[in-house]
Amino acid sequence: MAATALVVEDEKEIRELLRRYLERAGYGVLTTGSGAEAVRLLGERGVDLTLLDLGLPDVDGEEVLREVHGLGDVPVVVLTARTSVEDRIHGLRLGADDYVTKPFSPTEVVLRVGAVLQRARGTAAGAAPVPSYGGGRLRIDEARHEAVLDGAAVELTPTEWGLLTTLAAVPGRVYSRYELVNRVRGYEFAGYERTIDSHVKNLRHKLGARGPELVETVLGVGYRLGWSRDP
């Protein structure tokens, strides 16, 4: 049965963006812009994870976080514009399982949701194998947020990570610039699809000599992953 996520976010545009991405990834989704409504939904519905904005208009997000943990072992991924290290540590000490600062990549949020759910369910022993490509030369571990090429970890920005995982989801499928910028950066860069070229260039550079064959250009269309997924 698909997991159900509760999105608690007062900005409707962001709330709906997260709903679309989570549903596309196969999750059931409940949404609200109210902290009080969030507590009610958690008490009445089967929720497996909560995405919680700390800047809610009716109830302080930290109070909602305390209420969530009082209702059971529902993991919480915090969404917030508070970016200082002290704020992050404070949120984690209050019981947040992960912490995402705005602006964020919706693709990254979905990946973090999956990783938190996997940890919460204790499925590490029976987890699916890490996908690999090109005869094992490239491995993309979404739960660990780690890409390894020829045995060496590749350090990627959130945008570069989103590009790589999006292309790797269906190797060989061509994604237009518009698709990529909206899948990877969503609301933050809507309408600026030409910016994706510079991120692709940086991603290829970090992938080294294999960059151009891993991230192929399809002239006049967009980009695709050039290596097949291993069986």
What pLDDT sits at residue 85?
63
Q: 125 pLDDT band (50/70/90 cuts)? A: very low
Lowest mean pLDDT among 26-40, 48-62, 85-99, 200-214: 85-99
Average pLDDT, whole number, for the chain? 83
In terms of Cβ atoms closer than 10 Å to its own Cβ (0-12, 13-18, 19+), residue 131 is middle
Question: What is the arithmetic mean of pLDDT over 219-223?
Answer: 91
Tokens 């679309």 correspond to: 20
Which residue did the predictor score with more confidence, 162 or 129? 162
pTM of the model: 0.56
Distance CA 88, CA 86 (A): 5
Check whether 1 has a pLDDT greater than 80: no
pLDDT above 70: residue 105: yes
Q: How confident is the model at residue 225 (pLDDT cuts 50, 70, 90)?
A: very high
CB 95 within 8 A of CB 76: yes
CA 230 → CA 132, 135, 139, distances in Å?
6, 6, 10
Q: Does the pLDDT at position 29 exceed 80? A: yes
Do residues 10 and 56 lie in contact, with contact meaning Cβ atoms separated by under 8 Å? yes
Q: Which of 72-81, 124-133, 154-163 has the lowest mean pLDDT?
A: 124-133
CA angle 126, 128, 131 (to 5 degrees): 155
Task: Give the C-alpha distances (Å, rounded to integers) separating 149 from 40, 161, 186, 206.
Answer: 46, 13, 27, 10
**pLDDT of 91 strictly over 70:** no
Residue ranges of alpha helices (H) inside the chain are 12-24, 35-44, 61-70, 85-93, 106-121, 158-169, 177-184, 196-206, 211-214
Q: What residues have CB less than 8 Å from 35, skipping those under 6 apart?
A: 8, 56, 58, 59, 60, 61, 63, 64
- Distance in angstroms between the alpha carbons of the first and the last residue of the chain: 25
Specify the higher pLDDT residue, 188 or 25: 25
Among 61-75, 180-194, 210-224, which is the least confidently predicted range?
Answer: 180-194
- What does the pLDDT read at residue 217? 94
Which residue in the block uniquely carries the two structure tokens 């997991």? 3
